[in-house]
Amino acid sequence: MSEDVKIIERKEIPKGAVMIFGFPDVGLVGVIAASHLILELGLEEVAYVDSRLLPPVIVLHEGLPHSPIRIFGNHQILLAVSETALREDLIYPIMHALIDWGKNKGAKMMISLSGIPVQDRQDLDELKVFAAASSPEMLKMVQDKGLEVLREGYMVGPQAVMLQYCATLGVPALTLLAQCFFNYPDPEAAAKALEHLANLTGVKVDVSKLLEKGEEIRLKARDMMKRTQQELAKMRKTQEYDIPLYIS
């Protein structure tokens, strides 16, 4: 594990769990989905990230300080979630530390929940979810489950680092990308990503409350979305729209 990033454990960590990541990105899909999982499954904080690389920010809940990056869990899943937009230069050390930690804890699979921006999103009634995988076996698994694969293109952000690092380590990993707004919080996209997560892992949650509370979530998530937009611009997130030139 990186010297600069420590994972402090607060509870016993289950072996063989699925490790899920919900980090700020387009549409805040991962964070909204993670927040809903925590509420619906009653997940408890089991560990948190401590690092001097992080900005001097804490999150206060019920008057007590918490790290902005925490890991929640139960016997079945470990869920890493960030309540603050991550600076571009922090993505590598934070993601590598979390993946190293999860691997040491025997996580059987890692899944990142995220979004893929789509033009005229407001006109879409049915949102698609795409998947990208760390290995041909994982790719086959998602195709067998009926998910569409993101075949060609660029991926930018924490999920990109997660997928590449897991491929290097030989850890089975997936990224689920729900079609979403680029700049606006998208609870509908988060619900869609959760439906596919259930299909892949059996981690089922009722998404009806998430959809009912959609407007409330969009209002609450404005400030986090604004900060995330600033960081996405710095990490050149719009490269995901680029047509790649492959050199074989």
Nearer to another protein, 121 or 192 (CB): 121
Nearer to another protein, 170 or 241 (CB): 241
Q: Is 182 in the site for another protein (CB under 8 A)?
A: yes
Considering only residues 210 to 229 of the shown chain, the ones binding another protein according to CB under 8 A are 214-216, 218-220, 222-223, 225-226
Q: Is 122 in the site for another protein (CB under 8 A)?
A: yes
Q: Which of 37, 185, 194, 232 binds another protein (CB under 8 A)?
A: 185
Q: State in angstroms the smallest separation of the CB of 219 from another protein.
A: 5
Q: Is 236 in the site for another protein (CB under 8 A)?
A: no
Q: Total residues at the site for another protein (CB under 8 A)?
A: 18
Considering only residues 72 to 101 of the shown chain, the ones binding another protein according to CB under 8 A are none
Q: State in angstroms the smallest separation of the CB of 130 from another protein.
A: 21
Q: Is 157 within 8 Å of 85 (Cβ atoms)?
A: no
Nearer to another protein, 134 or 179 (CB): 179
Q: State in angstroms the smallest separation of the CB of 215 from another protein.
A: 4
Nearer to another protein, 165 or 181 (CB): 181
Measured between alpha carbons, how far is 37 from 217 in angstroms, rounded to an integer? 14
Could you give phi then psi for residue 54, rounded to 5 degrees? -70, 150
Please give the residue ranges that form the binding site for another protein (CB under 8 A).
121-123, 181-185, 214-216, 218-220, 222-223, 225-226
